[in-house]
Amino acid sequence: MVTRWSLDHFTSLSDQLLGNGATPQELQALLGESAPESGRPFAEVLGRFQKQIIPFAYKTNHPRFLAFVPGGPAFPSVLGDWLCSAANFFCGVWLEASGPTQVELTVLDWFKEWVGYPSEARGILTSGGSEANLTALVTARERVPFADRRRMVLYVSDQRHWSIDRAAKVIGLHPDRIQAISSGPDLKFHVPALLQQIEIDRREGHLPWAVIANAGATNTGTVDPMNDLADLCAREKLWLHVDAAYGWAAILTPEGKRELAGIERADSITLDPHKWLSQTFEAGCLLVRNGPLLEEAFSMRPDYLQDVTPRDGEINFADHGIALTRRFLALKIWMSVQVLGKAWFRDLADRCLRLAAYAQARLEKADCFEIMHPRNLSIVCFRFRSTAVDETQWDRLNEALVQELRDSRRAFLSTTRIRNQVALRMCFINWRTTTGDIDEIVALLREIGQKIAERET
C-alpha cells in the first residue's frame, strides 16, 4: 500500500495541484485527538494520511514550487531513505556500523574532491545546513582559549542566512559581537568595509574571530568574493566559513566552478545535499579543511562508551558533530550517485542555471516585470510593475500577486526584499522543472498581476 502510494505520488506529481494550507483551528478539529488505546487497521490510518494530512501541505518537490530553496529528491534517494529506515543502522560509531561509516567516508571524499579540498579534510553529514553551520561555529570557537571567548567577533554579510545568527546564539555569542557588514550594490561581501571593521574592533580590544561568506546567498544567489575573503582571513588569522548550503552543487558545472573559485581555501564549508543534489530531507554536510579539528571539538569518552573507542584508522562520526545516534544518511546519497552517475548531477546543475537564465529572459520579454537583481546561479529576483498603479503601491501589489498565484495552486513562489522593495523569487534546483513550467508561471503572473492592477484602479 505504501509502495503503491509512493509510486503514484512520485509519478503523478507534475500533474498534481501544489497543495493547500488550513488554519490551526481546522487542523486541530481534524487531527487533534488523544492517542488511541487500541490499534486500527493500517489501511485506515493510511487513508487518514491521504485525506486529512496530504491535502494540507504544499508539495515542495513539485516542478512549479520555486519558493525559498525547494526540494526535489531523485527516486534512488527516496529508496535509500527507505532502506536507511528499514535497516536502522547506528551510524555514530565504527564498532556498530563499519560498512555504513565507510560509505559516509566515501561520500565525504566525493564532496571533498568536488569542492577541491585536500584528503586530510574531514566532515560530517548533518540534518541540514543549520546544523552544519552550527557545527562549523563550534569547531572554530574551540580553537579560541576560554579567556578570550568574550572578546570574539563574528563577521557576516547582510545577505547571510539566519541559521548563522541562530548558531551564534547557540554558542553563546553576544549579539553585539556579530558584525553585519553592509554589502555593496552587487549584494556581495564588501571586503574593504570588512577590513575597516576588523581594524576598528582590534583597536577597541575585541578579538576578530571568524568570517562567514555566502556561496549562493539564499536571497539572490550571489557568491561572495572567495579569494579576496580567503586572502584577508589568512592575513588577519580569521576562520573563514563558507555557507554554500544552497549553491554548492553548481561547482559541478564550468560556470559554477568559475563563480565559486577560491571556496577550497575556506576553513570550513556547509553544503546541503537535500537542496541542489536531489536528496530527500534531511541531508546536510559540513566539511572542515583541517580535519582533526572536528574531532578535537566534539570527541568525548564517557565510561559507558569505552567499548567504542576507535582503533587505528577507524572513525566515529559521533566524534565529528553534535549527535550520538545518527541515521545512515550517506546511503541515499551514495545510492543516488551510484545509480544515476555524477554526470546526471552535473547536467541537473547546468540545467538549473539555464532555467534561471531562461526565466529572466522570459520576464524581460513580458514587459510588465522588472528584474530586481540579475540572475545569480539559479535564482532570479523580480517584481511585477504596472503604470496603472502608483509605484508606492507596488510592494502591496506584488504581495497580493504571490498570494493569488499560490491560491491558484498552479505555482508557488516566495518573496523577499531587495533595496527595501518587495521582490518575487524563483529558485531552480528541481530536476522536474522545465521551460514549459516557467512559461506557465510567467503567463500566470502576468494575468493575475494585470487583474489586480485593474482592480486597484
Question: Is the preceding omega at residue 282 within 30 degrees of 0, hence cis?
Answer: yes
Per-residue binding string, ligand PLP, 275-314, x by CB under 6 A, is ---------x------------------------------
Q: Compute the distance between CA of residue 321 and CA of residue 135 in angstroms, rounded to an integer.
A: 6
**Phi-psi category of 338—alpha, beta or left, where left has phi over 0 and alpha has psi -120 to 50?**
alpha
Contacts of residue 404, defined as CB under 8 A and 6 or more positions apart, other chains included, come to: 448, 451, 452
The DSSP H or E segment spanning 105 is: helix 98-115
Dig out the grid coordinates for 158 from the structure: 547582510
Residues 61, 77, 101, 130: which binds ligand PLP (CB under 6 A)?
A: 130
Strand partners, 197: none
- Residue 376 interacts with ligand PLP (CB under 6 A): yes or no: no
Q: Compute the distance between CA of residue 78 and CA of residue 335 in angstroms, rounded to an integer.
A: 10
- Residue 128 interacts with ligand PLP (CB under 6 A): yes or no: yes
Alpha helices in 142-186 (DSSP H): 162-170
Q: Tell me how many residues contact ligand PLP (CB under 6 A).
A: 13
Closest contact distance (angstroms) between CB of 243 and ligand PLP is: 5
Could you give the 3-state DSSP secondary structure of residue 122? strand
Contacts of residue 158, defined as CB under 8 A and 6 or more positions apart, other chains included, come to: 180, 181, 182, 183
Contact segment (CB under 6 A) with ligand PLP among 57-65, 87-95, 124-132, 167-175 equals 124-132
Residues 80, 129, 221, 291: which binds ligand PLP (CB under 6 A)?
A: 129
- Residue 400 interacts with ligand PLP (CB under 6 A): yes or no: no
Closest contact distance (angstroms) between CB of 283 and ligand PLP is: 8
Residues 67, 153, 245, 452: which binds ligand PLP (CB under 6 A)?
A: 245
Strand partners, 424: 382, 415
Instruction: Considering the complex, state which of residue 62 and residue 206 has its C-beta at the smaller distance from ligand PLP.
Output: 62
- Residue 262 interacts with ligand PLP (CB under 6 A): yes or no: no
Contact segment (CB under 6 A) with ligand PLP among 25-33, 125-133, 147-155, 439-447 equals 125-133
Closest contact distance (angstroms) between CB of 374 and ligand PLP is: 19
Cα–Cα distances in angstroms (integers) from residue 111 to residues 252, 290, 423, in the given order: 10, 15, 33
Q: What count of other Cβ atoms lies within 10 Å of the Cβ of residue 295?
A: 16
- Residue 272 interacts with ligand PLP (CB under 6 A): yes or no: yes
Residues 155, 189, 246, 412: which binds ligand PLP (CB under 6 A)?
A: 246
Per-residue binding string, ligand PLP, 149-178, x by CB under 6 A, is ------------x-x---------------
Contacts of residue 160, defined as CB under 8 A and 6 or more positions apart, other chains included, come to: 180, 212, 214, 217, 243
What phi, psi does 180 have (nearest 5°)?
Answer: -90, 115
- Residue 218 interacts with ligand PLP (CB under 6 A): yes or no: yes
Residues 104, 201, 243, 264: which binds ligand PLP (CB under 6 A)?
A: 243
The residues of the shown chain that bind ligand PLP, judged by CB under 6 A, are: 69, 128-130, 133, 161, 163, 218, 243, 245-246, 272, 284
